[in-house]
Amino acid sequence: MEHYDLVKWMHAGVGVVALSTFWLSGLTRKGSAVHKASGKLYLLAMAFILISATVMIVMFSIRPKPPGDTFLNYLAVFLGYLVVITSNSVWCSWRAIRDKRDWPRYTGNVYKALMVLNGLSGLAVASIGLFGGTQMALIFTAFSLIGITGAVRMWRFARQPPTDPRWWLKQHFSAMIGNGVATHIAFLSIGLPKLMPQLSGPVLQNMAWLGPLTISIIAGVYLKRKYAAPARQ
């Protein structure tokens, strides 16, 4: 078995753990022992997934490619971008809990570095989607907005201390929604076609990428109203 295949199968195996613990954490009572334990396991699984994904992207990038096939290079850039925005979600979901009484620490150097990486990588992917002429132009362009708008939101949040003492809760569940998008896209675009090849094709591809993104927007609005409404004085 090649090194790439070994990393790929390890990546997929831990991905099953991530998908399972994401839903276990999401469906259990917030703050309960099960919720906390499954959340920690989920974040550990995501940390491994990010490391293994980075290794695979490097291996993929250095492999010989057909002359003139720019799409594979664009795809490597896009996959690297996904690692950036997912790393941002994983870090924020973790640190929002750890730093819930320390906003300056939460918005420190790591937060600002991720903010810049989100914005720059989002702009790079947007340029590929708009001007690269690839078969995934719609997906590239749509997903570039996550990094760009995310960087703007992070910049605004870091400008001055929040007035709502539950700011960390909104930061946590917003980041976990981002984690959920990454987890489900990986399953729908890679895992499900392997399990059910008859479902593969351009329709599933677009649904796999854009479906979780759309649902995440709806979930974000719902959770904001339910858990992060401004506290009454």
Domain ranges of the chain: 1-64, 69-227
| Cβ burial, residue 195 (10 Å; 0-12/13-18/19+) | exposed
Long-range contacts of 128-131 (CB under 8 A, 24+ apart): 128/74, 128/77, 128/78
Pairwise CA distance, residues 214 & 180, whole Å: 12
| Rg of the Cα atoms in the chain | 18
Paired tokens of 196: 């059910």
Degrees, nearest 5: CA angle 129-135-18:
80
pTM equals 0.82
Mind listing the pLDDT tens digit of every residue in the chain (233 residues)? 577 788 888 888 888 888 889 888 878 888 899 998 999 999 999 999 999 999 989 988 888 877 767 888 888 898 899 999 999 999 999 999 999 999 999 999 999 999 999 999 999 999 999 988 777 788 889 889 999 999 999 999 999 999 999 999 989 988 988 888 888 777 666 554 555 554 555 655 666 666 666 666 666 556 566 655 555 44
Paired tokens of 12: 């997929």
Residues 6+ apart with CB under 8 A from 127: none
Pairwise CA distance, residues 163 & 192, whole Å: 44
b/e sequence 72-107, b meaning 16+ C-beta within 10 Å: eebbbbbebbbbbbbbbbbbbbbbbbebbeebeebb
The single residue listed with the structure tokens 């990454």 is 182
